[in-house]
Amino acid sequence: MRTTGRDDANCFVENPRAGETTNADVPGGAHGALRGMRVAVKDNVDVRGMRAGAGNPTYLETRGREPATAHAPCVDKVLAAGARFVGKTHMDELAWSLQGENFHYGTPTNARGKIPGRIPGGSSSGSASAVCCGHADVAIGTDTIGSVRLPASFCGVYGARPTHGRVDATGVVPLSHSFDTVGWFTKDAKTLRVMGEILLDPETRDAETSAKIGRGRLAACSDAFRLVDPAVKQAMNAVLSSEGVKRVFKDARGDAMPDAMGIVHLVLSDLALTDKSGERVLPPITEWSETFRVIQTREVWDAHGGWIKEHKPVFGPGIRDRFRAAEIGVDAATMDHHVALRERITNHLDALLADGTILILPAARGPAPAATDYNSEASLKKLAEARSVALALGAPASLARLPCVVIPAVEIEGEPVGLMLMSRRGTDEALLAFAEKLAWVIGLKVP
C-alpha cells in the first residue's frame, strides 16, 4: 500500500464548508467498542453541524444549503460506540455511479496495489479511499447496487452491505429507496463484524436461519464466475479449495463427514434449484440488472426529478445520461413486468438460502481499472463493459435485499480483488462472523 497524505488523497470534502462547524465539534463517546477509532462519513449522510452535498455542487447549495441539526442514526451509533469523526468523504454525484470519478471534485486516491492512478470505485469512493489510505479506521458508505462492494474490492479493504432496512437510513440522501442501504468499510474483518453489531437492528434478525450459517452449503455461483477475468477465477478457485476453507467448515459442522465439506457449484438463475415444477424459468443473471435499472430509474426520478427540473444541475458524463433516461421513464407494462420479476428472483433466492447456504461471487471482474479517458472510444468501451459486469454481480443481492460481505481475498499481479459472500435476509451477524473466520484461516492480514 502506498502512503498518501490526507490532502493528496482527495478522499475528504473541504472542511469546514461555508456555514458549517468544524470536526472538533463532533466528538465521539468516551467508551465503546470503537473507542479510539477514526470514522469517515460519506457526504450523503447527515452529520450534525455539517452540510450534505451528495457529490454535486448544485445539490450542496440548494437541498444541502443548511447544516444538519442532528446526526443520522447510523452516525450517532458509531460515535456513541467511541469512534472519532474525522471528516465527510467525496462520492459520485447523487451516488449514481460505480466509478469513483467525480466530474466536479476529482477522484479519491486508491492507494492499494502497485500501479498509481487506478480508480477507487464508487459511489462510496471517498469512504473506501479514507480507509485504504489510512486516514480512517472505519467509514460509512451507502450501497444501492455495489457502491460499497465494488470500492471495497478495488481498494483492497473490507466492506459490508446489510440486509435492506436493517440499518436505519434516516438522514441519508436517497437514490433509490427500495435498494438503498447504509454500509461500511474497515481495514480488518473483526472490526467489520463489530460495526455490524453496532449498526444492525437486532429486532430484524432471522435467528433460525442465522443458526444454520456455516453449517449449510458454501456455493460458488458459476454464472457469476464466468463474467470475470480468467486470472481472477483461477486465484479465487485456489482460495476456495484451500485447507483453510475446509477447516472453517469442519469447525462449523462438528462431526460432519468429510464428504459433506467443500464447495458446491450452482447456476444462480437456475430456478429448478427451488422450483421443481419446470413450468417457469428465470433469465440469466446478466439480465437481472435490467430489472434493477427499470425499477431504480423510476425511484430516482421520484426522489430527484422535481429538484432537477427546478435547479438544472450540471452532471458529469454517464450520470447526466442516466438522469436524462430517468426523465423519459418507462411505460406501466414494462414496470409491472420487472416488479413481478424482482419478486420471483427474491422468492427464488430466499428459498435457495433458507438452509443457511452462503453464496460466493467475485466482487468485481478484476482489479481496479485506470482512470477513464472520456476522449478515447477504447476507454469508454472498457468503462461500459466493466459497468455491465459490475451491475450483473451486484444485482442479485440488491434485487433480493440480501446482506453481503466483501473480503480482499486475492491479488492479481499485486492488485486486490474482493470475494463476495451473500446470505439470506436477516442473517447479517452470522455472515459477518463467518467472514471473519474465513479471512483468518486463509491468512488475510490487516493492510
Residue that the C-alpha cell 467443500 belongs to: 262
Alpha carbon distance 356, 378 (integer Å) = 43
Q: Report the phi/psi class of residue 249: left, alpha or beta, with left for phi > 0 and alpha for psi in -120 to 50.
A: alpha
Residue 53 CB neighbour total at 10 angstroms: 25
Strands 38-42 and 263-266: unpaired
Question: Residues 124, 129, 147, 398: which is the catalytic one?
Answer: 147
The SS3 call for residue 49 is coil
User: In this structure, which amino acid lies at residue 376?
Assistant: S
Cβ burial 350-361 (10 Å sphere, 16+ → b, else e): bebbeebbbbbb
Is 147 one of the catalytic residues?
Answer: yes
3-state SS string over 250-298?
A: HHHHCCCCHHHCCEEEECCCCHHHCCCCCCCCCCCHHHHHHHHHHHHHH
Closest C-alpha among 141, 112, 108, 109 to residue 40: 141
**Residue 85 backbone dihedrals phi, psi, to 5 degrees:** -70, 130
Closest CA to 149 of 381, 433, 430, 417: 417
Task: State the pairing for strand pair 38-42/138-143.
Answer: parallel
Query: Is 123 part of the annotated catalytic residue set?
Result: yes
42 catalytic residue (yes or no): yes
Catalytic site residue from 123, 127, 269, 423: 123
Q: Which residues are catalytic?
A: 42, 123, 147
